Amino acid sequence: MLRLRRYLNPYMFMFMVSVILLFIQANLDLALPDYLSRIVNTGIQQSGVESPVASAMRQETFDHLLLFLSEEEATAVQDAYTPVQPGTVEAADYLAQYPYLASQAIVVRNELSDDEIDALTNPMAEAFLAVSALEQAMADPEAAAQMGGAFDLSRLPAGTDLFALIGRLPAAQRAEISDTMNERFATLGETMVVQTAVVAVKAEYEALGMDVAALQNSYILRVGAIMLGVTLLSAVATVTVGYLSAKIAAGIGRDLRSDVFRKVESFSSAEFDKFPTASLITRSTNDITQLQMVTMFMVRLVFYAPIMGIGGTIRAIGKGSSMWWTIAVAVIVLVGVIGVVISIAMPRFQVVQKLIDRINLVARENLSGMMVIRAFNMQGFEEKRFDKANLDLADNTLFIARVTSIMMPVMMFILNVLSVLIIWVGAQQVADANMQVGDVMAFLQYAMQIVFSFLMLSMLFIILPRAQVSADRIADVLEVEPIIHDPVKPQHLNGSFTGTVEFRNVSFRYPGADTDILHDISFVARPGETTAFIGSTGSGKSTVVNLIPRFYDVTEGSILLDGIDIREVTQHDLREKIGYVPQKGILFSGTIESNLRYADEYASAEDLQTAVTIAQAADFVQSKPEGLMTEIAQGGTNVSGGQRQRLSIARALVKKPPIYIFDDTFSALDFKTDAALRRALHQSTQDSTILVVTQRVSTVKNAEQIIVLDQGRVVGQGTHEELMATCETYQEIALSQLSMEELSS
């Protein structure tokens, strides 16, 4: 596909916007599990209490906390809170929120940054746990054993105020008690210390008279609203990326079809021999459709999936570093499955497009040759031929489908096993107080996102090989350098151009052939004269006239128009001077008028009518109710072969060129129409150079110059009378068609 990468350049801005939006979308999607974790951990388990750094607390509790903080920590905490006494002006602002303030003093947290709150979290959490432990010990002396031997309560009188006692101890001894308790708390882990301390903060809020239920609901609704906003933003990004990817893919498809069509238009007959028509049709339709589809998928997935996979892995490890191995095992298995499937399916992808070429070829031959097939009763044979191509394509497609269909159930199996494994391992981590429930849930969601990112990439891996084959086939067409090309500094056929055609020692062989098919052909066709070519089948008549419009280039020698080598002018200028009518009349879907205007879109109605009359097509055109506006089916299938040929001649006449080439054009006409048409042509094209290829002697009897060809060589040249006297080959052809009386008349 790198061979076609230039087609992405016009859409690079939209592509970069899509990448940015995908990055935003991926980060938004990755944020959702974290918010879910907050709702479970903080909103449900912690009743909406977000941090051990309480928003307010009783003055008594605050004083107790300071006992278990280092001097530096105590200073930081004191700076973070402001005391509020009951009955003061400041108290009025807090009384509704903290009813306890009506009779007792409290402290209220100042406006702190997130970094300042994070710095106070661990010291405050440990201090809250220490205060909570002492309060339990005072309520139940038997719990004093949990102090780890810091001091023995059994030696103290009942009802002793431990906080007052600790406050009177030397700073070193208080620090020893604090360190001993913190060592006990450290076994819980930092996360559980914070979560346990939050329980004490919740109890403190209840003591202040706060509505804890309202606090919990407020937190859940607030985080839920954020999740909803994140989801909506992600949806907007998804829709926008979908629109941009479709626009990019459609634009690239349009550009490719246009360039392929233009390239094919520049092909000479040699290139058409290399690329069969059925293959070119497949490349212009099916192959480009494959590229268009894969482009859309790549824009949407090739960046999004890796971001999700890598980002999900980083966030999952952040939530549960001890469970990383579960994701690693799943990813290794996924990569292995994808690798096996691609290695099996890839060779078949390379065959499918060739089989589509084959089925198009068979179908095209059947449709175009239907009358011949019916005439020889070969329907059964053709059905078998089509079935063979159809079954080969179906078998390859089914094989690929079967192999790739394994991926989805395997992926879902891995996904379900991974879910069970995470829940099982996560439950143990929660039981051991190493993780919170919300973190396990978030880890599970991140794991799902990682697996689905690989699933999306696997879909891309499935369609990418076939698209690569299609891209190579399209690039093969676009990168063809036509054998026939225009000169860098062309000459011009204008001014006093007369239309003299000269072949000067021309030899020609088809590309890839070993021998020449034309040998040393020389003649001059002059304006106002008819030059006819006659000879047996395969003698090279059509090849000679096909060299003039440069459908092929000569191998040796040169062809001159008014003394200028045709290779020294542009193909457009050359063909502008030629009215060409091929052996098989070709009409295009539309009307008779549109087919005639194919030669000159600005031709007047009078010119059209004159051309139709000269071509002996006026009778059948006028017999149609719509006249020139009569519809012509694709390929002209709704008119007879003779009518199709006469309309082809009329089309060339509309052009009024200085040179006419009739390549066995009159073979589809009866002798009467042939004679009438030649008389009309002689009268209307007196100043033009006329070259006629035919096998009818009656058609060339009156030609000013007849060239007799045999096996690619000129064996006779002159008028009818001269050739009858000097050319044995011409005599044999003439006597095989007409009697001596007819030949001499």
pLDDT value, residue 153: 52
Q: Looking at the predicted structure, is the pLDDT value of residue 436 above 70? A: yes
Position 182 confidence tier, pLDDT thresholds 50, 70, 90? low
Per-residue model confidence as pLDDT tens digits over 324-337: 888 888 888 888 88
Q: Looking at the predicted structure, is the pLDDT value of residue 533 above 90? A: yes
- Which residues touch 28 (CB under 8 Å, ≥6 apart)? 230, 231, 233, 234, 237
Position 547 confidence tier, pLDDT thresholds 50, 70, 90? very high
* DSSP codes joined into one string, 368-401: HTHHHHHHTT-HHHHHHHHHHHHHHHHHHHHHHH
Mean pLDDT of 613-617: 88
Position 251 confidence tier, pLDDT thresholds 50, 70, 90? very high
Q: Report whether 718 contacts 708 (CB < 8 A).
A: no
pLDDT value, residue 284: 87
For the domain made up of 578-656, give the CATH fold.
Rossmann fold (3.40.50)
Q: Looking at the predicted structure, is the pLDDT value of residue 148 above 50? A: no
Q: Report whether 716 contacts 729 (CB < 8 A).
A: yes
Q: How far apart are CA 472 and CA 475, in angstroms?
A: 5
Which stretches of 547-664 are assigned E, i.e. beta strand? Answer: 556-561, 564-565, 578-581, 590-591, 631-632, 659-663
Mean of the per-residue pLDDT values for the chain? 84
pLDDT value, residue 147: 45
Share of the chain above pLDDT 90, in %: 20
Tokens of 355: 């089989």
Position 123 confidence tier, pLDDT thresholds 50, 70, 90? confident
pLDDT value, residue 149: 45
Judging by beta carbons within 10 Å of its beta carbon (0-12, 13-18, 19+), is residue 492 exposed, middle or buried?
exposed
**Location of each CATH 3.40.50.300 domain in the chain:** 506-577+659-745, 578-656
Sheet holding 556-561, edge to edge: 518-525, 501-508, 556-561, 564-565
Position 678 confidence tier, pLDDT thresholds 50, 70, 90? confident
Return the CATH class of domain 506-577+659-745.
alpha beta
pLDDT value, residue 256: 92
Q: Report whether 539 contacts 712 (CB < 8 A).
A: yes
Beta bridge partners of 560: 502, 565
pLDDT value, residue 554: 92
Q: Looking at the predicted structure, is the pLDDT value of residue 406 above 70? A: yes
Question: What residue type is assigned to position 371 of the chain?
Answer: M
pLDDT value, residue 139: 66
pLDDT value, residue 151: 47
If one compares 245 and 322, the residue with the highest pLDDT of the two is 245
Asked which of 158-172, 366-380, 667-681 is least confident by mean pLDDT, the reply is 158-172
Q: Is 33 left (phi over 0), alpha (psi -120 to 50) or beta?
A: alpha
- Cβ atoms within 10 A of the Cβ of 729, count? 17
Judging by beta carbons within 10 Å of its beta carbon (0-12, 13-18, 19+), is residue 441 exposed, middle or buried?
buried
Q: Is 528 helix (H, G, I), strand (E, B) or coil?
A: coil
Q: Looking at the predicted structure, is the pLDDT value of residue 23 above 50? A: yes
Q: Looking at the predicted structure, is the pLDDT value of residue 134 above 90? A: no
Per-residue model confidence as pLDDT tens digits over 162-176: 677 676 667 676 666
Asked which of 14-23, 211-220, 353-362, 376-385 is least confident by mean pLDDT, the reply is 353-362
Rg (CA), the chain: 46
Sheet holding 56-58, edge to edge: 56-58, 106-109, 81-84
* DSSP codes joined into one string, 685-730: -TTSEEEEE-S-HHHHTT-SEEEEEETTEEEEEE-HHHHHHH-HHH
Q: Looking at the predicted structure, is the pLDDT value of residue 733 above 80? A: yes
Whole-Å CA distances, 248 to 6, 195, 251, 255, 421: 13, 50, 5, 11, 42
pLDDT value, residue 150: 47
If one compares 134 and 559, the residue with the highest pLDDT of the two is 559
Per-residue model confidence as pLDDT tens digits over 486-526: 888 888 887 788 889 999 999 999 887 888 899 999 999 99
Whole-Å CA distances, 415 to 1, 31, 163, 441: 32, 21, 54, 15
Helix 437-478 to helix 304-319 angle (10° resolution) is: 160
Asked which of 391-405, 519-533, 704-718 is least confident by mean pLDDT, the reply is 391-405
Asked which of 16-30, 225-239, 364-378, 714-728 is least confident by mean pLDDT, the reply is 364-378
pLDDT value, residue 239: 94
Mean pLDDT of 588-608: 88
pLDDT value, residue 603: 87
Q: How far apart are CA 349 and CA 105, in angstroms?
A: 79
Position 534 confidence tier, pLDDT thresholds 50, 70, 90? very high
Asked which of 39-53, 61-75, 353-367, 714-728 is least confident by mean pLDDT, the reply is 353-367
Of 301, 331, 332, 300, residue with least CA distance to 316? 331
pLDDT value, residue 160: 62
Q: Looking at the predicted structure, is the pLDDT value of residue 741 above 70? A: no
pLDDT value, residue 676: 86
Position 527 confidence tier, pLDDT thresholds 50, 70, 90? very high
Mean pLDDT of 559-569: 91
Position 229 confidence tier, pLDDT thresholds 50, 70, 90? very high
pLDDT value, residue 339: 79
Q: Looking at the predicted structure, is the pLDDT value of residue 144 above 90? A: no
pLDDT value, residue 254: 93
